[in-house]
Structure 1
Amino acid sequence: MSLVGEERKSIILDMLNLEGQVKTIDLVKKLNVSSETIRRYLEEQEDENRLKRVYGGAVKINLGGEEPSYLKREVLYSEEKQRIGKAAASLVEDNDVIFIDDGTTPLQLIRFLMNKNNLTVLTMSMPALHLLIEYKNKDLFSGEIYLIGGKVNATHSRVTGSIAEKMAAMFHADKAFISIDGIVLSNGITSFDAERGQLASRVIENAKQTIVMTDSSKFGLTQLYRIADWRDIDIVISEVEAPKDWQETLEERGVVWIAAK
Protein backbone atom coordinates (compact mmCIF):
# COMPACT_ATOMS: atom_id res chain seq x y z
CA MET A 1 0.00 0.00 0.00
CA SER A 2 1.37 3.39 -1.01
CA LEU A 3 1.57 6.32 1.39
CA VAL A 4 -1.33 7.92 -0.47
CA GLY A 5 -3.36 4.79 0.07
CA GLU A 6 -2.60 4.76 3.79
CA GLU A 7 -3.58 8.41 4.03
CA ARG A 8 -6.88 7.64 2.33
CA LYS A 9 -7.54 4.80 4.73
CA SER A 10 -6.79 7.14 7.62
CA ILE A 11 -9.32 9.64 6.25
CA ILE A 12 -11.93 6.88 6.08
CA LEU A 13 -11.32 6.00 9.75
CA ASP A 14 -11.49 9.66 10.78
CA MET A 15 -14.88 9.98 9.06
CA LEU A 16 -16.08 6.80 10.76
CA ASN A 17 -14.98 8.03 14.17
CA LEU A 18 -17.00 11.22 13.73
CA GLU A 19 -20.14 9.98 12.01
CA GLY A 20 -20.26 6.28 12.79
CA GLN A 21 -20.76 5.35 9.14
CA VAL A 22 -19.43 6.06 5.65
CA LYS A 23 -20.95 5.54 2.22
CA THR A 24 -18.96 4.31 -0.74
CA ILE A 25 -20.45 6.94 -3.05
CA ASP A 26 -19.35 9.73 -0.70
CA LEU A 27 -15.85 8.30 -0.35
CA VAL A 28 -15.48 8.08 -4.12
CA LYS A 29 -16.18 11.81 -4.38
CA LYS A 30 -14.10 12.85 -1.39
CA LEU A 31 -11.01 10.76 -2.19
CA ASN A 32 -11.35 10.99 -5.98
CA VAL A 33 -10.83 7.30 -6.58
CA SER A 34 -12.93 4.51 -8.07
CA SER A 35 -15.58 2.57 -6.17
CA GLU A 36 -13.45 -0.57 -6.63
CA THR A 37 -10.57 1.15 -4.82
CA ILE A 38 -12.88 2.18 -1.98
CA ARG A 39 -14.21 -1.36 -1.64
CA ARG A 40 -10.63 -2.64 -1.43
CA TYR A 41 -9.80 -0.13 1.29
CA LEU A 42 -12.89 -1.17 3.26
CA GLU A 43 -12.11 -4.86 2.85
CA GLU A 44 -8.56 -4.34 4.11
CA GLN A 45 -9.74 -2.32 7.11
CA GLU A 46 -12.41 -4.89 7.93
CA ASP A 47 -9.73 -7.59 7.89
CA GLU A 48 -7.82 -5.41 10.39
CA ASN A 49 -10.98 -5.25 12.55
CA ARG A 50 -11.18 -1.46 12.18
CA LEU A 51 -14.67 -1.28 10.68
CA LYS A 52 -17.61 -3.41 9.60
CA ARG A 53 -18.66 -3.39 5.95
CA VAL A 54 -22.35 -3.03 5.16
CA TYR A 55 -24.26 -2.62 1.92
CA GLY A 56 -23.13 0.64 0.30
CA GLY A 57 -20.34 1.44 2.77
CA ALA A 58 -19.17 0.67 6.29
CA VAL A 59 -19.99 1.39 9.95
CA LYS A 60 -17.87 1.91 13.03
CA ILE A 61 -17.32 -1.15 15.20
CA ASN A 62 -18.98 -0.56 18.54
CA LEU A 63 -16.72 -2.49 20.89
CA GLY A 64 -18.97 -1.56 23.81
CA GLY A 65 -22.14 -3.25 22.64
CA GLU A 66 -23.69 -2.87 26.06
CA GLU A 67 -23.30 -0.39 28.88
CA PRO A 68 -20.41 -1.17 31.25
CA SER A 69 -21.23 -1.33 34.96
CA TYR A 70 -20.74 1.78 37.07
CA LEU A 71 -17.55 0.38 38.62
CA LYS A 72 -16.04 -0.25 35.19
CA ARG A 73 -17.04 3.19 33.89
CA GLU A 74 -15.52 4.86 36.93
CA VAL A 75 -11.94 4.07 35.88
CA LEU A 76 -12.31 4.90 32.17
CA TYR A 77 -10.93 8.28 31.01
CA SER A 78 -10.79 9.49 34.62
CA GLU A 79 -8.40 12.39 33.95
CA GLU A 80 -10.47 13.65 31.01
CA LYS A 81 -13.65 13.43 33.07
CA GLN A 82 -12.14 15.54 35.85
CA ARG A 83 -11.26 18.28 33.37
CA ILE A 84 -14.75 18.14 31.90
CA GLY A 85 -16.28 18.32 35.40
CA LYS A 86 -14.21 21.37 36.30
CA ALA A 87 -15.23 23.16 33.10
CA ALA A 88 -18.88 22.30 33.73
CA ALA A 89 -18.74 23.66 37.28
CA SER A 90 -17.52 27.01 35.96
CA LEU A 91 -20.93 27.42 34.29
CA VAL A 92 -22.83 27.02 37.57
CA GLU A 93 -23.87 30.25 39.29
CA ASP A 94 -25.05 30.95 42.82
CA ASN A 95 -28.76 30.18 43.35
CA ASP A 96 -28.95 27.87 40.31
CA VAL A 97 -31.21 24.83 40.11
CA ILE A 98 -29.14 22.16 38.37
CA PHE A 99 -29.74 18.58 37.27
CA ILE A 100 -26.77 16.22 37.55
CA ASP A 101 -27.27 13.17 35.38
CA ASP A 102 -26.22 9.62 36.05
CA GLY A 103 -22.69 8.80 35.01
CA THR A 104 -19.10 9.13 36.11
CA THR A 105 -18.53 12.30 34.06
CA PRO A 106 -21.28 14.44 35.67
CA LEU A 107 -20.15 13.09 39.06
CA GLN A 108 -16.91 15.04 38.66
CA LEU A 109 -18.90 18.27 38.52
CA ILE A 110 -19.83 17.93 42.19
CA ARG A 111 -16.21 18.10 43.32
CA PHE A 112 -15.96 21.66 42.00
CA LEU A 113 -19.17 23.09 43.50
CA MET A 114 -17.75 23.90 46.93
CA ASN A 115 -17.60 27.65 46.31
CA LYS A 116 -21.14 27.89 44.92
CA ASN A 117 -23.89 29.20 47.19
CA ASN A 118 -27.54 28.29 47.62
CA LEU A 119 -27.71 25.66 44.88
CA THR A 120 -30.57 23.23 44.37
CA VAL A 121 -29.37 19.94 42.91
CA LEU A 122 -31.60 17.33 41.28
CA THR A 123 -30.17 13.89 40.52
CA MET A 124 -31.13 10.28 39.82
CA SER A 125 -27.59 9.03 40.47
CA MET A 126 -26.87 7.19 43.71
CA PRO A 127 -23.12 8.00 43.68
CA ALA A 128 -23.95 11.67 43.08
CA LEU A 129 -26.43 11.61 45.96
CA HIS A 130 -23.91 10.02 48.34
CA LEU A 131 -21.18 12.49 47.39
CA LEU A 132 -23.51 15.47 47.82
CA ILE A 133 -24.59 14.20 51.24
CA GLU A 134 -20.97 13.71 52.26
CA TYR A 135 -20.05 17.24 51.16
CA LYS A 136 -23.09 18.74 52.86
CA ASN A 137 -22.32 17.00 56.16
CA LYS A 138 -18.78 18.40 55.98
CA ASP A 139 -20.10 21.90 55.20
CA LEU A 140 -18.45 21.74 51.78
CA PHE A 141 -21.71 22.07 49.87
CA SER A 142 -24.30 24.79 50.34
CA GLY A 143 -27.74 23.98 48.98
CA GLU A 144 -30.64 21.58 48.74
CA ILE A 145 -30.58 18.05 47.33
CA TYR A 146 -33.48 16.30 45.60
CA LEU A 147 -33.28 12.63 44.61
CA ILE A 148 -35.51 11.79 41.67
CA GLY A 149 -37.04 8.54 42.92
CA GLY A 150 -38.23 5.44 41.10
CA LYS A 151 -37.01 2.01 40.08
CA VAL A 152 -33.43 1.35 41.25
CA ASN A 153 -30.93 -0.06 38.76
CA ALA A 154 -28.34 -1.70 41.02
CA THR A 155 -25.79 -2.43 38.27
CA HIS A 156 -25.60 1.22 37.21
CA SER A 157 -26.41 2.82 40.60
CA ARG A 158 -29.24 4.98 39.27
CA VAL A 159 -32.99 5.47 39.37
CA THR A 160 -35.19 5.30 36.26
CA GLY A 161 -38.69 4.31 35.18
CA SER A 162 -42.13 5.91 34.88
CA ILE A 163 -42.26 7.10 38.49
CA ALA A 164 -38.93 8.87 38.09
CA GLU A 165 -40.14 10.49 34.86
CA LYS A 166 -43.25 11.84 36.57
CA MET A 167 -41.17 13.29 39.38
CA ALA A 168 -38.65 14.80 36.95
CA ALA A 169 -41.50 16.53 35.10
CA MET A 170 -42.31 18.45 38.30
CA PHE A 171 -38.98 20.31 38.31
CA HIS A 172 -37.55 23.05 36.10
CA ALA A 173 -33.75 23.23 36.14
CA ASP A 174 -31.71 26.25 35.15
CA LYS A 175 -29.00 23.94 33.82
CA ALA A 176 -29.18 20.22 33.02
CA PHE A 177 -25.81 18.45 32.91
CA ILE A 178 -26.38 15.40 30.72
CA SER A 179 -24.30 12.23 30.31
CA ILE A 180 -24.34 10.31 27.02
CA ASP A 181 -23.22 7.03 25.44
CA GLY A 182 -22.98 8.22 21.84
CA ILE A 183 -22.82 11.46 19.85
CA VAL A 184 -22.89 11.95 16.07
CA LEU A 185 -23.66 14.90 13.86
CA SER A 186 -26.61 13.24 12.17
CA ASN A 187 -28.37 11.70 15.19
CA GLY A 188 -27.58 13.94 18.16
CA ILE A 189 -27.00 12.25 21.53
CA THR A 190 -27.95 8.70 22.48
CA SER A 191 -28.04 6.29 25.42
CA PHE A 192 -27.61 2.53 25.87
CA ASP A 193 -30.60 2.38 28.22
CA ALA A 194 -34.00 3.54 26.90
CA GLU A 195 -35.34 4.20 30.41
CA ARG A 196 -32.35 6.34 31.37
CA GLY A 197 -32.50 8.13 28.04
CA GLN A 198 -36.21 8.82 28.41
CA LEU A 199 -35.67 10.30 31.86
CA ALA A 200 -32.89 12.54 30.54
CA SER A 201 -35.20 13.65 27.73
CA ARG A 202 -37.86 14.67 30.25
CA VAL A 203 -35.31 16.71 32.20
CA ILE A 204 -34.11 18.42 29.01
CA GLU A 205 -37.67 19.41 28.11
CA ASN A 206 -37.98 21.38 31.36
CA ALA A 207 -34.45 22.82 31.52
CA LYS A 208 -33.53 26.35 30.52
CA GLN A 209 -30.11 25.17 29.34
CA THR A 210 -28.85 21.72 28.35
CA ILE A 211 -25.14 20.96 28.76
CA VAL A 212 -23.76 17.68 27.41
CA MET A 213 -20.67 16.29 29.14
CA THR A 214 -18.74 13.72 27.10
CA ASP A 215 -15.23 12.46 26.47
CA SER A 216 -14.14 11.89 22.88
CA SER A 217 -14.54 8.10 23.06
CA LYS A 218 -18.29 8.64 22.50
CA PHE A 219 -17.79 10.46 19.17
CA GLY A 220 -19.22 8.60 16.18
CA LEU A 221 -21.25 6.13 18.27
CA THR A 222 -25.03 5.76 18.05
CA GLN A 223 -26.70 3.75 20.81
CA LEU A 224 -30.24 2.42 21.26
CA TYR A 225 -32.17 5.47 22.47
CA ARG A 226 -32.02 9.01 21.12
CA ILE A 227 -31.97 11.40 24.07
CA ALA A 228 -32.08 14.65 22.12
CA ASP A 229 -31.34 16.30 18.79
CA TRP A 230 -28.85 19.12 18.33
CA ARG A 231 -31.65 21.70 18.50
CA ASP A 232 -32.19 20.70 22.14
CA ILE A 233 -28.52 21.13 23.13
CA ASP A 234 -26.96 24.42 24.18
CA ILE A 235 -23.41 23.46 25.19
CA VAL A 236 -21.11 20.47 24.74
CA ILE A 237 -18.11 20.02 27.04
CA SER A 238 -15.38 17.57 26.02
CA GLU A 239 -11.65 17.24 26.58
CA VAL A 240 -10.97 18.04 22.92
CA GLU A 241 -12.02 20.66 20.40
CA ALA A 242 -15.06 20.04 18.23
CA PRO A 243 -14.32 17.96 15.12
CA LYS A 244 -13.67 20.32 12.20
CA ASP A 245 -16.39 18.73 10.09
CA TRP A 246 -18.94 19.47 12.84
CA GLN A 247 -18.16 23.14 13.40
CA GLU A 248 -20.37 24.63 10.68
CA THR A 249 -23.42 22.64 11.81
CA LEU A 250 -22.79 23.45 15.47
CA GLU A 251 -22.70 27.16 14.64
CA GLU A 252 -25.90 26.89 12.62
CA ARG A 253 -27.65 25.18 15.54
CA GLY A 254 -26.24 27.64 18.08
CA VAL A 255 -24.35 24.95 20.02
CA VAL A 256 -21.35 26.18 22.00
CA TRP A 257 -18.46 23.69 22.27
CA ILE A 258 -16.10 23.95 25.26
CA ALA A 259 -12.77 22.09 25.21
CA ALA A 260 -11.83 21.41 28.83
CA LYS A 261 -8.14 22.07 29.44
Structure 2
Amino acid sequence: MSLVGEERKDAIMNLLNYAGKVRTNELVEKLQVSSETIRRYLEELENENQLKRVYGGAIKINYEREEPSHLMREVSHAEEKKRIGRAAANLVQDNDVLVIDDGTTTLHMLPFLMNRRNLKLITISVPALNLLMEYHNKELFTGEIYFIGGKVQSKHFRTAGTLAENMMQNFFVDKAFISIDGILAQHGISSYDCEKAMIAKRIIENSKENIVLTDHSKIGISTFYKVADLKEIDTVISDVPAPKEWEGELEAKGVDWLVAD
Protein backbone atom coordinates (compact mmCIF):
# COMPACT_ATOMS: atom_id res chain seq x y z
CA MET A 1 0.00 0.00 0.00
CA SER A 2 1.14 3.55 -0.70
CA LEU A 3 2.29 5.90 2.04
CA VAL A 4 -0.95 7.85 1.61
CA GLY A 5 -2.92 4.66 2.17
CA GLU A 6 -0.97 3.84 5.34
CA GLU A 7 -1.51 7.39 6.61
CA ARG A 8 -5.24 7.02 6.04
CA LYS A 9 -5.25 3.73 7.92
CA ASP A 10 -3.41 5.45 10.79
CA ALA A 11 -6.06 8.18 10.73
CA ILE A 12 -8.79 5.53 10.95
CA MET A 13 -7.09 3.93 13.97
CA ASN A 14 -6.68 7.32 15.66
CA LEU A 15 -10.41 7.96 15.24
CA LEU A 16 -11.16 4.47 16.52
CA ASN A 17 -9.01 5.00 19.60
CA TYR A 18 -10.84 8.28 20.19
CA ALA A 19 -14.41 7.01 20.08
CA GLY A 20 -14.19 3.21 20.15
CA LYS A 21 -16.06 2.97 16.83
CA VAL A 22 -16.08 4.55 13.37
CA ARG A 23 -18.74 4.83 10.68
CA THR A 24 -18.03 4.37 6.99
CA ASN A 25 -19.94 7.49 5.89
CA GLU A 26 -18.04 9.65 8.39
CA LEU A 27 -14.70 8.25 7.19
CA VAL A 28 -15.65 8.95 3.57
CA GLU A 29 -16.30 12.58 4.45
CA LYS A 30 -13.23 13.01 6.64
CA LEU A 31 -10.69 11.26 4.38
CA GLN A 32 -12.25 12.39 1.08
CA VAL A 33 -12.20 8.94 -0.52
CA SER A 34 -14.89 6.58 -1.80
CA SER A 35 -16.85 4.19 0.41
CA GLU A 36 -15.25 1.30 -1.50
CA THR A 37 -11.79 2.57 -0.53
CA ILE A 38 -12.85 2.87 3.13
CA ARG A 39 -14.24 -0.66 3.11
CA ARG A 40 -10.92 -1.89 1.69
CA TYR A 41 -8.98 -0.11 4.45
CA LEU A 42 -11.29 -1.57 7.11
CA GLU A 43 -10.90 -5.05 5.64
CA GLU A 44 -7.10 -4.72 5.67
CA LEU A 45 -7.12 -3.45 9.26
CA GLU A 46 -9.39 -6.31 10.30
CA ASN A 47 -6.99 -8.80 8.68
CA GLU A 48 -4.23 -7.17 10.77
CA ASN A 49 -6.37 -7.70 13.92
CA GLN A 50 -6.58 -3.94 14.44
CA LEU A 51 -10.38 -3.69 14.47
CA LYS A 52 -13.61 -5.59 13.91
CA ARG A 53 -15.91 -4.65 11.04
CA VAL A 54 -19.59 -4.24 11.85
CA TYR A 55 -22.56 -3.04 9.84
CA GLY A 56 -21.88 0.55 8.77
CA GLY A 57 -18.32 0.78 10.08
CA ALA A 58 -15.96 -0.81 12.62
CA ILE A 59 -15.32 -1.09 16.35
CA LYS A 60 -12.20 -1.39 18.48
CA ILE A 61 -11.32 -4.99 19.29
CA ASN A 62 -11.67 -5.97 22.91
CA TYR A 63 -10.74 -9.61 23.32
CA GLU A 64 -11.62 -9.66 27.02
CA ARG A 65 -15.28 -9.96 27.98
CA GLU A 66 -14.57 -10.06 31.67
CA GLU A 67 -11.80 -8.85 33.93
CA PRO A 68 -8.78 -11.18 33.87
CA SER A 69 -7.67 -12.59 37.22
CA HIS A 70 -5.04 -10.77 39.25
CA LEU A 71 -2.49 -13.46 38.40
CA MET A 72 -3.13 -13.04 34.66
CA ARG A 73 -2.96 -9.26 34.90
CA GLU A 74 0.26 -9.46 36.87
CA VAL A 75 2.21 -10.94 33.94
CA SER A 76 0.53 -8.90 31.19
CA HIS A 77 2.64 -5.92 29.96
CA ALA A 78 4.79 -6.23 33.09
CA GLU A 79 7.69 -4.06 31.87
CA GLU A 80 5.35 -1.26 30.76
CA LYS A 81 3.56 -1.38 34.10
CA LYS A 82 6.84 -1.13 35.98
CA ARG A 83 7.77 2.05 34.06
CA ILE A 84 4.33 3.51 34.69
CA GLY A 85 4.54 2.67 38.39
CA ARG A 86 7.92 4.38 38.70
CA ALA A 87 6.61 7.50 36.93
CA ALA A 88 3.57 7.55 39.22
CA ALA A 89 5.74 7.27 42.33
CA ASN A 90 7.65 10.36 41.18
CA LEU A 91 4.47 12.38 41.75
CA VAL A 92 4.37 11.42 45.44
CA GLN A 93 5.85 13.82 47.98
CA ASP A 94 6.71 13.49 51.66
CA ASN A 95 3.68 13.75 53.96
CA ASP A 96 1.17 12.84 51.23
CA VAL A 97 -2.02 10.94 52.01
CA LEU A 98 -2.55 8.43 49.19
CA VAL A 99 -4.96 5.84 47.88
CA ILE A 100 -3.35 3.03 45.91
CA ASP A 101 -6.00 1.20 43.89
CA ASP A 102 -5.96 -2.56 43.42
CA GLY A 103 -4.45 -2.74 39.92
CA THR A 104 -1.26 -4.56 39.07
CA THR A 105 0.09 -1.32 37.59
CA THR A 106 -0.42 0.63 40.81
CA LEU A 107 1.26 -2.22 42.69
CA HIS A 108 4.49 -1.39 40.82
CA MET A 109 4.54 2.01 42.54
CA LEU A 110 5.30 0.62 45.97
CA PRO A 111 9.03 -0.21 45.66
CA PHE A 112 9.64 3.36 44.49
CA LEU A 113 7.95 4.91 47.55
CA MET A 114 10.42 3.61 50.13
CA ASN A 115 12.38 6.87 50.28
CA ARG A 116 9.27 8.99 50.98
CA ARG A 117 8.69 10.11 54.53
CA ASN A 118 5.55 10.24 56.64
CA LEU A 119 3.15 8.83 54.04
CA LYS A 120 -0.34 7.70 54.91
CA LEU A 121 -1.31 5.01 52.42
CA ILE A 122 -4.80 3.55 51.91
CA THR A 123 -5.53 0.52 49.72
CA ILE A 124 -8.16 -2.06 48.78
CA SER A 125 -5.48 -4.36 47.35
CA VAL A 126 -4.45 -7.45 49.32
CA PRO A 127 -1.10 -7.79 47.46
CA ALA A 128 -0.36 -4.11 48.14
CA LEU A 129 -1.21 -4.58 51.81
CA ASN A 130 1.06 -7.64 52.07
CA LEU A 131 3.94 -5.86 50.36
CA LEU A 132 3.56 -2.75 52.50
CA MET A 133 3.50 -4.83 55.70
CA GLU A 134 6.64 -6.64 54.54
CA TYR A 135 8.37 -3.31 53.87
CA HIS A 136 7.15 -1.96 57.21
CA ASN A 137 8.45 -4.98 59.15
CA LYS A 138 11.84 -4.57 57.45
CA GLU A 139 11.76 -0.83 58.31
CA LEU A 140 11.87 0.05 54.62
CA PHE A 141 8.55 1.87 54.91
CA THR A 142 7.84 3.98 57.96
CA GLY A 143 4.49 5.50 57.05
CA GLU A 144 0.98 4.50 58.11
CA ILE A 145 -1.03 1.80 56.31
CA TYR A 146 -4.83 1.66 56.13
CA PHE A 147 -6.73 -1.23 54.56
CA ILE A 148 -10.28 -0.75 53.31
CA GLY A 149 -12.35 -3.74 54.44
CA GLY A 150 -15.45 -5.15 52.79
CA LYS A 151 -16.53 -7.93 50.48
CA VAL A 152 -13.49 -9.94 49.37
CA GLN A 153 -13.15 -10.61 45.64
CA SER A 154 -10.79 -13.58 45.82
CA LYS A 155 -10.10 -13.78 42.06
CA HIS A 156 -8.88 -10.18 42.06
CA PHE A 157 -7.23 -10.09 45.51
CA ARG A 158 -9.19 -7.00 46.59
CA THR A 159 -12.12 -5.74 48.63
CA ALA A 160 -15.16 -3.99 47.21
CA GLY A 161 -18.89 -3.59 47.82
CA THR A 162 -21.01 -1.38 50.07
CA LEU A 163 -18.93 -1.88 53.23
CA ALA A 164 -15.77 -0.82 51.41
CA GLU A 165 -17.52 2.23 49.92
CA ASN A 166 -18.80 3.28 53.34
CA MET A 167 -15.36 2.95 54.88
CA MET A 168 -13.73 4.92 52.06
CA GLN A 169 -16.28 7.69 52.57
CA ASN A 170 -14.47 8.60 55.80
CA PHE A 171 -11.09 9.19 54.16
CA PHE A 172 -10.00 12.35 52.34
CA VAL A 173 -6.70 12.10 50.48
CA ASP A 174 -4.19 14.20 48.57
CA LYS A 175 -3.66 11.85 45.62
CA ALA A 176 -5.50 8.80 44.31
CA PHE A 177 -3.81 6.38 41.92
CA ILE A 178 -6.51 4.64 39.94
CA SER A 179 -6.36 1.47 37.83
CA ILE A 180 -8.77 1.07 34.93
CA ASP A 181 -9.98 -1.46 32.37
CA GLY A 182 -10.76 1.00 29.58
CA ILE A 183 -10.39 4.65 28.61
CA LEU A 184 -12.02 6.71 25.87
CA ALA A 185 -11.70 10.46 25.39
CA GLN A 186 -15.44 10.91 24.92
CA HIS A 187 -16.70 8.50 27.56
CA GLY A 188 -14.01 8.52 30.24
CA ILE A 189 -12.69 5.59 32.27
CA SER A 190 -14.47 2.29 32.82
CA SER A 191 -14.30 -1.01 34.69
CA TYR A 192 -15.47 -4.55 34.05
CA ASP A 193 -16.78 -4.83 37.62
CA CYS A 194 -19.53 -2.56 38.95
CA GLU A 195 -18.53 -3.03 42.61
CA LYS A 196 -14.94 -2.07 41.81
CA ALA A 197 -16.23 0.89 39.80
CA MET A 198 -18.37 2.14 42.68
CA ILE A 199 -15.49 2.23 45.17
CA ALA A 200 -13.31 3.89 42.51
CA LYS A 201 -16.01 6.57 42.18
CA ARG A 202 -15.89 7.13 45.94
CA ILE A 203 -12.10 7.33 45.88
CA ILE A 204 -12.19 9.93 43.09
CA GLU A 205 -14.79 12.02 44.93
CA ASN A 206 -12.64 12.12 48.08
CA SER A 207 -9.30 12.91 46.46
CA LYS A 208 -7.78 16.30 45.70
CA GLU A 209 -5.86 14.88 42.72
CA ASN A 210 -6.78 11.85 40.64
CA ILE A 211 -4.15 10.01 38.61
CA VAL A 212 -5.00 7.18 36.21
CA LEU A 213 -2.39 4.53 35.43
CA THR A 214 -2.91 2.63 32.16
CA ASP A 215 -0.85 0.68 29.67
CA HIS A 216 -1.58 0.92 25.95
CA SER A 217 -3.91 -2.10 25.90
CA LYS A 218 -6.67 -0.15 27.73
CA ILE A 219 -6.66 2.86 25.37
CA GLY A 220 -9.66 3.10 23.08
CA ILE A 221 -11.53 0.43 25.06
CA SER A 222 -14.87 0.83 26.80
CA THR A 223 -15.81 -1.84 29.35
CA PHE A 224 -18.99 -2.64 31.26
CA TYR A 225 -19.29 0.09 33.91
CA LYS A 226 -18.39 3.76 33.71
CA VAL A 227 -16.22 5.07 36.54
CA ALA A 228 -15.73 8.76 35.69
CA ASP A 229 -15.52 11.35 32.93
CA LEU A 230 -12.05 12.50 31.95
CA LYS A 231 -12.82 15.94 33.40
CA GLU A 232 -12.70 14.29 36.85
CA ILE A 233 -9.15 13.06 36.18
CA ASP A 234 -6.08 15.26 36.58
CA THR A 235 -3.36 13.09 35.08
CA VAL A 236 -3.03 9.97 32.96
CA ILE A 237 0.25 8.04 33.03
CA SER A 238 0.82 5.55 30.22
CA ASP A 239 3.59 3.82 28.32
CA VAL A 240 2.52 5.53 25.07
CA PRO A 241 1.48 9.07 24.08
CA ALA A 242 -2.20 9.96 23.92
CA PRO A 243 -3.86 9.33 20.54
CA LYS A 244 -3.57 12.48 18.44
CA GLU A 245 -7.34 12.70 18.09
CA TRP A 246 -7.59 13.05 21.88
CA GLU A 247 -5.31 16.04 22.29
CA GLY A 248 -7.98 18.75 22.01
CA GLU A 249 -10.35 16.99 24.37
CA LEU A 250 -7.64 16.32 26.94
CA GLU A 251 -6.66 19.98 26.89
CA ALA A 252 -10.27 21.13 27.17
CA LYS A 253 -10.84 18.85 30.16
CA GLY A 254 -7.57 19.82 31.85
CA VAL A 255 -5.99 16.36 31.73
CA ASP A 256 -2.21 15.99 31.66
CA TRP A 257 -0.95 12.90 29.81
CA LEU A 258 2.47 11.68 30.92
CA VAL A 259 4.50 9.06 29.09
CA ALA A 260 6.56 6.81 31.37
CA ASP A 261 10.12 6.27 30.14
Classify the TM-score, shorter chain: over 0.9
The DSSP-based 3-state class of the residue aligned with 1:112 is helix
Aligned counterparts of 1:84 and 1:2: Cα–Cα separation in 2: 36
User: Mean alpha-carbon deviation: is it higher for 245-254 or for 35-44?
Assistant: 35-44
Query: In structure 2, do the counterparts of structure 1 residues 168 and 45 end up closer, same or farther at CA, with 3 Å as the change threshold?
Result: same
Counterparts in 2 of 1:37 and 1:226: CA distance versus 1, 3 Å = same
Q: CA RMSD in A?
A: 1.6
1:142: how far off? 1.6
Tell me the distance in 1 between the aligned counterparts of 2:187 and 2:2: 35
Deviation at 1:78, TM superposition (A): 1.1
Q: Which moved more, 1:130-139 or 1:8-17?
A: 8-17
Alpha-carbon distance between aligned partners in 1 of 2:11 and 2:148, rounded to the nearest angstrom? 44
TM-score between the two structures when normalised by the length of structure 1: 0.94
Output the amino acid matched with 2:20.
G
Counterparts of 1:114 and 1:49 in 2: how far apart (Å)? 41
User: Structure 1 residues 101, 63: closer, same or farther in 2, change over 3 A?
Assistant: same
- What is aligned with 2:235? 235
Aligned residues: 261
User: What CA distance in whole angstroms lies between the structure 1 residues aligned with 2:17 and 2:215?
Assistant: 13
Residue 84 of structure 1 aligns with which residue?
84
Contact 2:17-2:243 at 8 Å conserved across structures? no
Partner of 1:189: 189
Q: Offset of 1:44 from its aligned partner?
A: 4.6
Instruction: Go from structure 1 to structure 2 and tell me whether the alpha carbon gap of 1:211 and 1:3 turns closer, same or farther (over 3 Å shift).
Output: closer
For residues 86-105 of structure 1, what are the structure 2 equivalents within 5 Å?
Answer: 86-105=86-105
Residue segments in structure 2 that go unaligned for 5+ positions in a row: none
Q: Secondary structure of 1:220's match?
A: coil
- Residue in 1 aligned with 2:32? 32
What is the alpha-carbon distance in structure 2 between the residues aligned to residue 103 and residue 14 of structure 1?
A: 26
Give the secondary-structure state (helix, strand or coil) at the position aligned to 1:99.
strand
Stretches of structure 1 that go unaligned for 5 or more consecutive residues are none
Distance 2:5 2:83 in 1: 37
Q: What does 1:1-261 align with in structure 2 at a 5 Å threshold?
A: 4-46=4-46, 49-261=49-261
| Contact map agreement 1:100 1:178 (CA 8 A) in 2 | yes
Letter of the structure 2 residue corresponding to residue 41 of structure 1: Y
Once the two structures are superposed, residues 122-168 of structure 1 have per-residue CA deviations (whole angstroms, 9 ceiling, x without a partner) of 10000000000000001111211111100101111010101101111
Aligned residue type for 1:103: G
Deviation digits for residues 189-248 of structure 1 (CA, Å, limit 9, x no counterpart):
111111101110111001000000111111100000111101100011111222222122
Per the alignment, in what secondary structure is the counterpart of residue 22 of structure 1?
strand
Cα distance change, pair 259–50 in 1 and its aligned pair in 2 (3 A): closer
> C-alpha distance in 2, partners of 1:83/1:127?
19
Q: Which amino acid aligns with 1:13?
A: M
2:148–2:167: 8 Å Cα contact kept in structure 1? yes
Cα shift at 1:19? 3.1
* CA distance in structure 2 between the partners assigned to 1:169 and 1:110 by the alignment: 24
> 1:251 & 1:22 partners in 2: Cα distance?
23
If the length of structure 2 is used for normalisation, what is the TM-score? 0.94
2: CA distance, partners of 1:47 / 1:78: 27
